[in-house]
Amino acid sequence: MLSAYFENGTLGEKDEQPKIGDMTMIIKNASVFQESGTFKADDIFISGAYFADDTHEVEILDASDCVAIPGLIDVHIHGCVGYDFSTADATGLLEMTRYQAQNGVTAVCATTLTLPEIQLAEACRRIAAHDDPNGAAIAGIYLEGPFLSGKKAGAQNPDYLQKPDIMEIRRLQEAANGLIKLIALAPELEGAIELIGMLRGEITCVLGHTTANYDLAQQAFVSGARQVAHLYNAMPPFHHREPGVIGAAMDAPDCRVELICDCIHIHPSVVRATMRMFGDDRVIFVSDGIMATGLDDGCYELGGLAVAVSGRHSYLAGSETIAGSVTNLMDCLKIAVSEMGIPLGSVVKCATVNPAKALGVFDQRGSIKPGKCADLVLLNEDLSIRAVFLRGSRIV
């Protein structure tokens, strides 16, 4: 994809890429996303790397046929373009974050897999050291495991599952330089409820890969858990007599839930029902992307397990176990609107405002407000990307 730039006041292409943060401009007449999930015809002011109230000596750019939304934030993503956050070196991290930015995802929470502590610690150190002004920001680290249920391991490697260990989390947080924001665990494991209480206010505990019933899940939410990983997947189903984690999450007003809208993990009817049950204030759209995202069909790897990919389908080799997703978050947004019938405003809210709040960065990202990082995506009427602005400069 060519690096793009505004040309003669319109959205054109130019193979000269500006330096991040150099732009000062007004984007006029776009249909601009509001934090409430609505849209308003408005002008957007950018000064350097931030949205502004007003600005002077600017380039005025017309976007009257575009929808303007904040850069998307993916809180649950393992990898893409042949790399995985659990194993990627500096080059791999650059490739992943730049691919995400090119596709309108301007911040991610790098998600690790169930692995031995020594490997997780090394991954945390590499991720925390990453800094690339031309790629999506890494706004946090998400530990998905190793404190998960063996009965609901899904595509997590069962060889490395273990009981909750607060000292291991402390060591990993030190390796991550404080960047760990989320940790998924199964509350039925010995010591899990106590660990949730100890981490309250420090790291958000997420229920996932679990066999927990309603009462135990409710206890976990009372103790401080505030999120559910990839709702419906790797947990008991929502039954009218046994509502399980899903029912407990619905009854916990402070709990947010992740949804993977790739038309593989969840049926469109269930996505529509979930949006009605939880409302668009409590749903977070995630990709759960793996290294095959952005690549062709074939055989790949996930935490030491072989994965077969065909189209949107990703399974553990030789099984019917879904192994993450190969659909990036922007494509999930398009699918949710075009194939699931979810209103665009709600979808954008679930991919920007809500994830920013879940990561504790809503004061910096997640909406188009003065003082926030100027990460912006302009969409055409068919939701294809017209332009991406990363920290105030156009990269697409």
Strands 105-112 and 137-144: parallel
CA distances (Å), origin 58, targets 16, 24, 390: 19, 5, 18
Tally of CA atoms within 13 A in the half-sphere of 2 that contains its CB: 9
Alpha helical stretches, state H, the chain:
90-102, 117-129, 166-175, 192-199, 214-223, 244-251, 268-278, 329-338, 344-351, 353-358
What angle, rounded to 10 degrees, do the helices at 90-102 and 117-129 form?
Answer: 60
Q: How far apart are CA 259 and CA 277, in angstroms?
A: 13
251 tagged catalytic: no
Residues 77, 108: contact at Cβ < 8 Å? yes
One-letter amino acid of 221: F
Tokens of 195: 């660990």
Q: Exposure pattern of 99-116 as b/e (b: 16+ CB <10 Å)?
A: bbbbbbbbbbbbbbbbbe
Secondary-structure percent of the chain, ordered helix, strand, coil, rounded to 5: 25, 30, 45
What is the SS3 assignment for 241?
Answer: coil
Tokens of 120: 């997780």
Q: How far apart are CA 253 and CA 237, in angstroms?
A: 20
What are residue 109's DSSP bridge partners? Answer: 140
Strands 180-185 and 204-207: parallel
**Which residue out of 288, 331, 363, 382 is catalytically annotated?**
288
Of the candidates 162, 199, 206, the residue with the CA atom closest to the CA atom of residue 182 = 206
CA distances (Å), origin 103, targets 23, 98, 253, 297, 385: 20, 9, 32, 19, 8
Active-site residues: which are they?
288
